[in-house]
């Protein structure tokens, strides 16, 4: 009979495996979010209007990014299991599928922004504030967004390739690509936003150019490494000879992956809608939420990356037929994620008292951002548990369940509550925000129940 300790805590080998997969993902994601934070901070030095313009545009980019993540991850469930089975042709086919679906989504995103981008951005600028200021923010935001569209093309290819490398236990090259992109972005931000070294002072436009260039650098690094190490990456051999994916496999990926893609899109859309609800309390709230979201993304890298690593490890175990091991490791992974959330939340709580003051904005915005960060920090442990449960259930292909418990509960509980409060009450923004955040506890409980049932522990490739 297992002791309580052995049931909820692993041995050194268990944690070594998690950290081996997790650390490269942490570093890459930390770099990516740190770049976004630096963009935000540097633009924030220009003024509140510029900072708000970039943050509103990035809400739409956020929805696109998660749509791509969901599409690539749907096929990635099969990639991880094929790798556990040592089936290189299966990995090659899933890689092709990722490229096609990511390309199609990118084309749709570009078309949407060019056709109706200004109208969508304007939805976030309807709160209290001067009309002239809102109009200026809208012009800056749309100009920034149109330039960012150029970088979506290399970004979608990078996501397909980097995802495949991570799912086949090669997380270092995507990490190195992220470091390269970070370095280029940082230098170009400094030069182009503020006009150093004889360059023109481009402000928001300079930030967009730096981001686009860094996307191309990231793709170049990861693609060159993959092509030069074909022995380590046999899936890339002949991957571009044709784009044939067996219909039976494509159908299974769509069956499992479509709910996942819809989930990520609906989840990102839900977060964007929440921000729109908060924005009705005034333009100063938009600025404060931007500061909170920027730092939240950086600090949340720890438990988000651990979730990705847990999903990869669980998928490999299921693909190799180690069903019992996968089920026994699930409670240990959840405890690990919860403790990680406690530590990161404590650091975020402390950082809330000084980080907002790095921005060149009003004192009211800085104080409000501090309050929102403190409210967010309280729920970091729950975020860790929820994130872990999501990736465990997803690894077994139970994507319909993940959609219902993730984006379904987001829209059904959090978004509906925020909509009612924002339109029909005068509740101040801090208790409003805290109440909506607290509702993720419901999602965490539902996630734990599904993991405990164990129906997610199945192999998707065993019959092949």
Q: What is the pLDDT of residues 319-363, one digit of tens each?
A: 777 888 888 888 898 999 999 999 999 999 999 999 998 887 888
Return the SS3 of 346. helix
> Residue 130: what pLDDT?
66
pLDDT at 390 > cutoff 60: yes
Q: Which residue has the tokens 């042709």?
A: 89
Q: Classify 246 in phi/psi space as left (phi over 0), alpha (psi -120 to 50) or beta.
A: beta
Q: How confident is the model over 107-127, as a mean pLDDT?
A: 84
pLDDT at 429 > cutoff 90: yes
Q: What is the mean pLDDT of the chain?
A: 85
Q: How confident is the model over 308-325, as a mean pLDDT?
A: 82
**Residue 289 is encoded by which pair of tokens?**
């939420």
Distant-in-sequence, close-in-space partners of 218: CB < 8 Å, separation ≥ 6:
154, 155, 158, 177, 178, 180, 181
Instruction: Tell me how many domains the chain contains.
Output: 1
In a domain, 460, yes or no: no
> Residue 224: what pLDDT?
94
pLDDT at 464 > cutoff 80: no
> Residue 225: what pLDDT?
94
pTM: 0.72
Give dist(CA 266, CA 268) in Å, integer: 5
Share of the chain above pLDDT 90, in %: 26
Confidence grade of residue 131 (pLDDT, cut at 50, 70, 90): low
Give dist(CA 142, CA 55) in Å, integer: 11
Q: In terms of Cα–Cα distance, which of 144, 132, 133, 127 is closest to 55? A: 144
Q: How confident is the model over 228-240, as a mean pLDDT?
A: 86
Please say whether the beta carbons of 289 and 51 come within 8 A: no
Distant-in-sequence, close-in-space partners of 213: CB < 8 Å, separation ≥ 6:
184, 185, 188
Stretch among 29-38, 63-72, 320-329 having the lowest mean pLDDT: 29-38
> Residue 154: what pLDDT?
93
Give dist(CA 317, CA 81) in Å, integer: 8
Give dist(CA 378, CA 146) in Å, integer: 37
In a domain, 93, yes or no: yes
In a domain, 461, yes or no: no
Domain region containing 167:
8-453
Distant-in-sequence, close-in-space partners of 297: CB < 8 Å, separation ≥ 6:
33, 36, 37
Q: How confident is the model over 197-209, as a mean pLDDT?
A: 88
Share of the chain above pLDDT 70, in %: 96
In a domain, 250, yes or no: yes
In a domain, 397, yes or no: yes
pLDDT at 372 > cutoff 70: yes
* Residue pLDDT, tens place only, 435-449: 999 999 998 888 888
> Residue 327: what pLDDT?
87
In a domain, 463, yes or no: no
> Residue 461: what pLDDT?
64
Q: In terms of Cα–Cα distance, which of 115, 124, 113, 104 is closest to 149? A: 113
Stretch among 28-37, 243-252, 286-295 having the lowest mean pLDDT: 28-37
Give dist(CA 291, CA 404) in Å, integer: 30
Q: How confident is the model over 138-149, as a mean pLDDT?
A: 90
In a domain, 306, yes or no: yes
In a domain, 462, yes or no: no
Please say whether the beta carbons of 441 and 380 come within 8 A: no
> Residue 62: what pLDDT?
79
* Residue pLDDT, tens place only, 172-182: 888 888 888 88
């Amino acid at each position: 009979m297992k002791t309580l300790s052995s049931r909820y805590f692993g041995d050194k080998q268990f944690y070594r495996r998690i950290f081996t997969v997790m650390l490269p993902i942490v570093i890459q994601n930390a770099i990516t979010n740190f770049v976004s934070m630096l963009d935000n901070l540097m633009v924030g030095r220009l003024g509140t209007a510029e900072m708000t313009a970039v943050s509103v545009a990035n809400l739409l980019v956020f929805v696109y990014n998660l749509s791509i993540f969901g599409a690539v991850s749907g096929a990635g469930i099969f990639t991880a299991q094929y790798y556990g089975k040592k089936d290189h042709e299966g990995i090659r086919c899933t890689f092709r599928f990722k490229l096609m679906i990511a390309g199609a989504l990118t084309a749709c995103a570009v078309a949407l922004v060019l056709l109706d981008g200004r109208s969508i951005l304007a939805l976030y600028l309807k709160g209290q504030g001067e009309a002239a200021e809102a109009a200026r923010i809208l012009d800056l935001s749309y100009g920034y967004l149109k330039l960012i569209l150029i970088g979506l093309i290399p970004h979608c290819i990078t996501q397909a390739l980097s995802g495949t490398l991570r799912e086949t236990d090669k997380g270092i090259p995507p990490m190195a690509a992220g470091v390269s992109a970070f370095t280029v972005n940082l230098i170009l931000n400094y030069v182009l936003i503020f006009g150093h070294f004889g360059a023109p002072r481009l402000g928001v436009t300079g930030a967009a150019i730096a981001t686009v260039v860094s996307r191309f650098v990231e793709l170049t690094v990861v693609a060159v490494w993959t092509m030069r190490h074909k022995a380590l990456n046999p899936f890339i051999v002949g991957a571009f000879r044709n784009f044939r994916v067996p219909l039976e496999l494509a159908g299974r990926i769509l069956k499992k992956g479509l709910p996942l893609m819809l989930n990520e899109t609906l989840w990102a859309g839900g977060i964007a809608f929440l921000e729109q609800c908060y924005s009705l309390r005034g333009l100063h709230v938009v600025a404060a939420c931007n500061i909170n979201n920027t730092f939240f993304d950086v600090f949340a890298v720890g438990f988000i990356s651990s979730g990705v690593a847990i999903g990869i490890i669980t998928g490999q175990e299921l693909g190799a037929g180690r069903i019992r091991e996968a089920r026994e490791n699930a409670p240990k992974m959840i405890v690990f994620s919860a403790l990680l959330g406690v530590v990161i939340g404590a650091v975020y709580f402390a950082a809330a008292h000084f980080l907002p003051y790095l921005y060149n904005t009003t004192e009211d915005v800085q104080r409000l951002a501090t309050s929102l960060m403190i409210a967010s920090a309280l729920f970091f442990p729950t975020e860790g548990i929820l994130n872990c449960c999501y990736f465990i259930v997803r690894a077994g292909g139970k994507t319909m369940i993940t959609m219902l418990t993730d984006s379904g509960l987001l829209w059904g509980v959090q978004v509906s509550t925020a909509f009612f409060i924002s339109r029909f009450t005068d509740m101040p923004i801090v208790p409003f925000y805290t109440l909506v955040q607290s509702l993720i506890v419901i999602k965490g409980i539902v996630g734990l129940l599904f993991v405990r049932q164990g129906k997610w522990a199945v192999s998707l490739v065993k019959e092949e």
